[in-house]
């Protein structure tokens, strides 16, 4: 079992990564200072596989869990589902010592975390992520939330879990498309922080896609390490943490445009990363070669790297971007790469560059960025190196 | 203008108390590090009196406020109203630098605070309390939240305001019943913390009821001082802060039993304080004389001190108490008085004593506590003095 520590003072916690950890959930929870009543929130896709094991593991240590099964899919990250969970917690008489276990992917974790963050002004919360995406990203760092009709994750809280239990064997039952979706976030960590991880992914994508557990354990632990490091430095996204949003500004926009659930999160982020690479090439000096490597790695992982958008859809997407949470003073801010392992956050991008990039997304080749914007963009000075927005790890 | 500082590190803020402060809201906000977009959340009762002045005060400093008027009354502290506010904030494109102004009483403050705590994982928040109750209690300390069908304030967050602006002149338009309701919390501060404040209230209740502004300024500032002191010592209710709940356990139960809105909060708390006094007399040594003084001061303030409950209603109230947030391990905990100015929190109370006390609430005299429970309760040892639950200020 590998352990990654997230150091946040009184809110510190451990991420346990290994095989067959579901069965030790009760034992791990009994080491925390928690009451006996709890709720397990999971969804209709995960419950048939793992709910019984989780309930048994908790029951064996005298916990009294209430099982709450929500409909699978992004549309469950909504206020009506939150309301239903509150009622179940109240019916089961959860008190301030009680806790919530999130058994599932990012949707379950975000929703259950928001419920735990706000029920009785915040109760304990344990993450048992069952998708690759949740294991490397959403279960770590304490961002929880739900969607509004107008935008994704517009409502939420920072609420750190007490424990993250990552069982590698649950990935065996993960559908291939879900697995690939998680790889988008894995690749993102290489781009934003760690060229060595990026090269490992380039070398080992075959093994990863065949779900070689030894490689996966190494990759997942490294991703959690990176996220823990970033979150420790900037828990509430005052600055550095924004780099985790590489590819997410346009990615979230594409999800909202298509209707939540049409694209998996990682698929939308993959397209968003391609867009971010094109903007990075135009504005922050990402080389054509490295841009192409990123696009190729996404393709190797079986992720989409292009999307057909009619002109009216692009206009609508542009509007959605203006409402993005990462907006400051009405202008969207982007995370852009200087090279693999080195990104800059808080980048303002000229509206014309955004429009050109959206127009270019129907092509999958890296060099398909509409040429007219490049000469103009090149005249934009790169942000000076060494400033607070400058992040580098090699 | 009086100023009370609430010292909470990076979350510190000032409470400004004085006449005609509504008109300086814009100027006060412009001293804070906030963006120009904001929302003013108020209700149908307050809006006709003060919304225009507040919008003008903000507009004069180049803020761009969106006015959101919710129905007056406790039933607005609900998820559907929260949802509507989220949509309005999103439509008005509030971003992370934006803020919410709560213009109204406790319902508006709690609801608007919860919206601000969760929109974009938390944006700025300014309280402009327009009821006595909100001025002395709910606007200070950062507890925000909404009700579920099953219980009051079951969902919420800790989210400190950036500023509290308390205009004494708005009390002129407060209906007498609302004003008296606020006095319940004022009296509570005397009981839990400050015998001198309690004696001032005994001497000056006539002037207070005629809304003498000089006395009110002194009393409100002292209440805010006490609350600031308690909250500074224990922001998230790990211990001491619980003393602010004196009278609230049974008070909240009575509100839930009668249906929210039937009793004003202070009215239910007044009855709850009478119940707490009786339990305190039986269990923690509150003298009959001091118990009678507290009940008499509540009566002087025009507050209810008794309630007729049939046996089935008492049984239901007992059930509601078991679900109270202040429950620990399924048993309700009470704040009980040792004497005026000195209370103990986290007190477990034998179920029979609770039942006897609920049965006694139809009588308004202090000595009407059903005698059978007293000899038994007297055998309960008082908690040893000087322990962590022991609070005294003189």
Quote the tokens at residue A167: 């069982």
Same domain, B128 and B43: yes
CA distance linking residue A35 with residue A95, whole number of Å: 8
Last residue within a domain, chosen from A120, A153, A174: A174
Q: Write the pLDDT tens digit of every residue in B102-150.
A: 999 999 999 999 999 999 999 999 999 999 999 999 999 999 999 988 7
CB contact under 8 A, B93 and A325: no
Alpha-carbon gap: A114 to the closest alpha carbon of chain B (Å): 9
Q: Give the closest residue to B119 by CA, choosing from A350, A118, A318, A49.
A: A118
Q: Write the pLDDT tens digit of every residue in A36-55.
A: 999 999 999 999 999 999 99
Quote the tokens at residue B125: 């928040």
Alpha-carbon gap: B174 to the closest alpha carbon of chain A (Å): 30
Would you call B252 an interface residue with chain A, using a CB distance cutoff of 8 Å?
Answer: no
Beta bridge partner(s), residue A164: A15, A127
3-class SS letters over A317-350: HHHHHHCCCCCECCECEEEEEEECCEEEEEEECC
Beta strands in chain B, from DSSP E residues, in sequence order: 2-6, 13-18, 37-43, 64-70, 99-104, 124-129, 143-146, 155-158, 163-167, 333-339, 342-348, 390-392
CB contact under 8 A, A154 and B329: no
Q: Is the pLDDT of residue A152 over 80?
A: no
CB contact under 8 A, B120 and A154: yes
Please name the member of A91, A119, A150 whose beta carbon is closest to the beta carbon of B155: A119
Burial profile A189-228: b = 16 or more Cβ within 10 angstroms, e = fewer: bbbbbbbebbebbeeebeebeebeeebbbbbbbbbbbbbb
Q: Is the pLDDT of residue A221 over 70?
A: yes
Give residue A258's pLDDT.
83
Would you call B81 an interface residue with chain A, using a CB distance cutoff of 8 Å?
Answer: no
Residue B56 designated active-site: no
Q: What is the pLDDT averaged over residues A133-158?
A: 92
A143-146 and A64-70 strand pairing: unpaired
Q: Which residues contact A243 (CB under 8 A, 6 or more apart)?
A: A192, A193, A230, A335, A343, A345, A391
Calculate the alpha carbon distances from A176 to A50, A62, A188, A218 in Å. Answer: 18, 36, 19, 20
Same domain, B30 and B111: yes
Same domain, A11 and A152: yes
Give residue A378's pLDDT.
37
Same domain, A359 and A302: yes
Count Cβ atoms below 10 Å from residue A122 Cβ, excluding itself: 16
Count Cβ atoms below 10 Å from residue B59 Cβ, excluding itself: 12
B350 phi and psi, to 5 degrees? Answer: -60, 140
Quote the tokens at residue A221: 């632990």
Q: Is A62 left (phi over 0), alpha (psi -120 to 50) or beta?
A: left
The interface predicted TM-score (ipTM) is 0.86
CA distance linking residue A355 with residue B199, whole number of Å: 70
Residue B92 designated active-site: no
Residues of B in contact with A325 (CB under 8 A): 95-96, 120
Q: What is the pLDDT averaged over residues B190-216?
A: 97
Calculate the average pLDDT of chain A. Answer: 90
Q: Are A3 and A15 in contact (CB under 8 A)?
A: yes
CB contact under 8 A, B148 and A90: yes
Burial profile B170-202: b = 16 or more Cβ within 10 angstroms, e = fewer: bbeebeeebbbbbbbbbbbbbbbbbbebbebbe
- Tell me the H-state helices in B130-264: 132-133, 176-192, 195-209, 213-233, 248-258
Last residue within a domain, chosen from B174, B198, B217: B174
- CATH number, domain of A152, equals 3.40.50.1970
Residues of B in contact with A95 (CB under 8 A): 325, 327-330
Same domain, A226 and A337: yes
Beta bridge partner(s), residue A128: A103
Same domain, A153 and A186: no
CA distance linking residue A175 with residue A266, whole number of Å: 14
Give residue B98's pLDDT.
97
Same domain, A82 and A213: no
CA distance linking residue B310 with residue B319, whole number of Å: 14
Would you call A155 an interface residue with chain B, using a CB distance cutoff of 8 Å?
Answer: yes
Q: Which residues contact A309 (CB under 8 A, 6 or more apart)?
A: A317, A358, A359, A361, A362
Please name the member of A117, A150, A236 whose beta carbon is closest to the beta carbon of B90: A150
- Tell me whether residue A66 is in a domain: yes
CB contact under 8 A, B119 and A329: no
Q: Is the pLDDT of residue A176 over 90?
A: yes
CB contact under 8 A, B118 and A122: no
Residue B5 designated active-site: no
Would you call B387 an interface residue with chain A, using a CB distance cutoff of 8 Å?
Answer: no
Residue of A nearest to B328 (CA): A95
Q: Which residues contact B345 (CB under 8 A, 6 or more apart)?
A: B239, B240, B242, B243, B245, B333, B335, B389, B391
Per the document, the length of chain A is 394
Last residue within a domain, chosen from B174, B198, B219: B174
Same domain, A45 and A167: yes
Residues of B in contact with A346 (CB under 8 A): none
CB contact under 8 A, B155 and A97: no
- CB contacts < 8 A, A to B, total 99
Q: Which of B81, B118, B322, B328 to mutate to test the interface with A (most CBs of A within 10 A)?
A: B118
Count Cβ atoms below 10 Å from residue A10 Cβ, excluding itself: 5
Q: Which residues contact A44 (CB under 8 A, 6 or more apart)?
A: A69, A70, A71, A72
- Tell me whether residue A188 is in a domain: yes
Alpha-carbon gap: B359 to the closest alpha carbon of chain A (Å): 25
Give residue A260's pLDDT.
64
- Tell me whether residue A389 is in a domain: no
Q: Give the closest residue to B39 by CA, choosing from B90, B74, B76.
A: B90
- Tell me whether residue A212 is in a domain: yes
Same domain, B118 and B184: no
Q: What is the pLDDT averaged over residues A275-303?
A: 96
Please name the member of A93, A148, A156 whose beta carbon is closest to the beta carbon of B121: A156
Q: Give the closest residue to B69 by CA, choosing from B81, B60, B80.
A: B81
Exactly one of B162, B227, B281, B338 is catalytic; name it. B227
Name the more confident of B392 and B316: B316
Count Cβ atoms below 10 Å from residue A263 Cβ, excluding itself: 21
Beta bridge partner(s), residue A166: A17
Alpha-carbon gap: B91 to the closest alpha carbon of chain A (Å): 8
Give the domain range for residue B293: 177-392
Q: Write the pLDDT tens digit of every residue in A98-130.
A: 999 999 999 999 999 999 999 999 999 999 999
Give residue A386's pLDDT.
37
Same domain, A325 and A241: yes
Q: What are the catalytic residues of A?
A: 121, 143, 185, 227, 237, 241, 245, 248, 252, 265
Q: What is the pLDDT averaged over residues A336-363?
A: 92
CA distance linking residue B33 with residue B327, whole number of Å: 39
Residue B27 designated active-site: no
Give residue B266's pLDDT.
94
Taken in order A31, A34, A38, A44, is the CA torsion positive or negative?
Answer: negative
Would you call B3 an interface residue with chain A, using a CB distance cutoff of 8 Å?
Answer: no
Would you call B79 an interface residue with chain A, using a CB distance cutoff of 8 Å?
Answer: yes
- Tell me whether residue A163 is in a domain: yes
Please name the member of B96, B122, B329 whose beta carbon is closest to the beta carbon of A157: B122
B13-18 and B163-167 strand pairing: parallel
Beta bridge partner(s), residue A4: A15
Give residue A328's pLDDT.
59
Alpha-carbon gap: A368 to the closest alpha carbon of chain B (Å): 33
Residue B255 designated active-site: no
Q: Give the closest residue to B114 by CA, choosing from A82, A234, A260.
A: A82
Q: Are A328 and B120 in contact (CB under 8 A)?
A: no
- Kindly report which listed range (A274-283, A360-369, B184-193) carries the lowest average pLDDT score: A360-369
Quick one: DSSP state of residue A390? B
Q: Give the closest residue to B143 by CA, choosing from B1, B248, B33, B53.
A: B248
Alpha-carbon gap: B244 to the closest alpha carbon of chain A (Å): 16
> Which residues of chain A from 268 to 307 reach within 8 Å of chain B, CB to CB?
none
Give residue A255's pLDDT.
86
CB contact under 8 A, A155 and B96: no
CB contact under 8 A, A95 and B330: yes
Q: Which residues contact A104 (CB under 8 A, 6 or more apart)?
A: A41, A42, A43, A45, A46, A112, A128, A129, A130, A131, A134
Residues of A in contact with B158 (CB under 8 A): 121-122
Q: Are B134 and B107 in contact (CB under 8 A)?
A: no
Q: Is the pLDDT of residue B389 over 90?
A: no
Straight-line distance from the first to the last Cα atom of chain A, in angstroms, rounded to the nearest whole number: 26
Give residue A384's pLDDT.
36
Same domain, A253 and A143: no
Q: How many domains does chain B have?
A: 2
Per the document, the length of chain B is 394
Q: Is the pLDDT of residue A391 over 60?
A: no
Would you call A117 an interface residue with chain B, using a CB distance cutoff of 8 Å?
Answer: yes
Same domain, A168 and A236: no
Exactly one of B14, B45, B77, B143 is catalytic; name it. B143
Calculate the average pLDDT of chain B. Answer: 90
Q: Is the pLDDT of residue B60 over 70?
A: yes
Percentage with pLDDT > 90 across chain B: 77
Percent helix, strand, coil in chain B (nearest 5)?
50, 20, 30
Would you call B156 an interface residue with chain A, using a CB distance cutoff of 8 Å?
Answer: yes
Alpha-carbon gap: B315 to the closest alpha carbon of chain A (Å): 17
Q: Is A68 helix (H, G, I), strand (E, B) or coil?
A: strand
Please name the member of B82, B97, B122 whose beta carbon is closest to the beta carbon of A328: B97
- CATH number, domain of A283, equals 1.20.1090.10
Residues of B in contact with A122 (CB under 8 A): 157-158
Would you call A133 an interface residue with chain B, using a CB distance cutoff of 8 Å?
Answer: no
CA distance linking residue A43 with residue A69, whole number of Å: 5
> Which residues of chain B from 308 to 327 reach within 8 Å of chain A, CB to CB?
322-323, 325, 327
- Tell me whether residue A394 is in a domain: no
Residue B265 designated active-site: yes
Name the more confident of B91 and B363: B91
Quote the tokens at residue A250: 């346009």
Residues of A in contact with B330 (CB under 8 A): 93, 95
B124-129 and B99-104 strand pairing: parallel
Calculate the alpha carbon distances from A116 to A38, A86, A96, A129 in Å. Answer: 11, 9, 10, 16
Q: Is the pLDDT of residue A95 over 50?
A: yes
Instruction: Tell me, rounded to whole angstroms, the distance of Cα A112 from its chain centroid.
Output: 15
Complete edge-to-edge strand list for the sheet that includes strand B342-348? B333-339, B342-348, B390-392
Q: Which of A87, A155, A252 to mutate to test the interface with B (most CBs of B within 10 A)?
A: A155
Calculate the alpha carbon distances from B44 to B67, B72, B173 in Å. Answer: 12, 5, 14
Percentage with pLDDT > 70 across chain A: 90
pLDDT category at A336 given cuts 50, 70, 90 is very high
Quote the tokens at residue B297: 């001061």
Residues of A in contact with B143 (CB under 8 A): 121
Please name the member of B143, B151, B330 whose beta carbon is closest to the beta carbon of A121: B143
């Amino acid at each position: 079992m590998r352990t990654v520590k997230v150091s946040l003072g009184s809110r510190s916690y451990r991420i346990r990564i290994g095989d067959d950890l579901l069965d030790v959930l009760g034992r791990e929870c009994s080491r925390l200072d928690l009451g006996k009543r709890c709720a397990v929130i999971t969804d209709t896709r995960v419950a048939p596989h793992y709910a019984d094991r989780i309930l048994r593991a908790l029951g064996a240590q005298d916990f009294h869990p209430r099982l709450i099964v929500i409909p699978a899919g992004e549309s469950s990250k909504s206020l009506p589902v939150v309301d239903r969970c509150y009622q179940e917690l109240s019916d089961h008489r959860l008190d301030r010592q009680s806790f919530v276990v999130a058994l599932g992917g990012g949707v379950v974790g975000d929703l259950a975390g928001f419920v735990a963050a706000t029920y009785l002004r915040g109760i304990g919360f344990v993450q048992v992520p069952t998708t690759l995406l949740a294991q490397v990203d959403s279960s770590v760092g304490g961002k929880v939330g739900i969607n509004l009709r107008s935008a994704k994750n517009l409502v939420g809280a920072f609420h750190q879990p007490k424990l993250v239990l990552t069982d590698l064997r649950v990935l065996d039952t993960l559908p291939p498309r879900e697995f690939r979706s998680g790889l988008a976030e894995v690749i993102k960590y290489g781009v934003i922080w760690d060229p060595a991880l990026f090269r490992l992914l380039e070398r080992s994508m075959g093994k990863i896609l065949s779900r070689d557990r030894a490689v996966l354990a190494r990759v997942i632990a490294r991703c959690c390490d990176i996220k823990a490091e970033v979150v420790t430095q900037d828990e509430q996204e005052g600055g550095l943490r924004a780099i985790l949003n590489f590819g997410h500004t346009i990615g979230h926009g594409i999800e909202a445009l298509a209707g939540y659930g049409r694209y998996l999160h990682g698929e939308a982020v993959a397209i968003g990363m391609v867009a971010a690479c094109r903007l990075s090439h135009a504005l922050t000096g990402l080389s054509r070669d490295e841009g192409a490597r990123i696009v190729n790695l996404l393709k190797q992982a079986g992720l989409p790297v292009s999307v057909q958008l009619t002109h009216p859809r692009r206009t609508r997407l542009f509007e959605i971007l203006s409402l993005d949470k990462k907006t400051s003073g009405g202008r969207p801010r982007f995370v852009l790469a200087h090279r693999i392992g080195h990104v800059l956050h808080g980048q303002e991008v000229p509206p014309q560059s955004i429009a050109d990039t959206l127009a270019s997304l129907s092509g999958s080749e890296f060099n398909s960025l509409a040429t007219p914007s490049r000469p103009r963009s090149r005249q934009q000075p790169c942000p000076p190196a060494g400033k607070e927005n400058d992040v580098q790890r090699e």
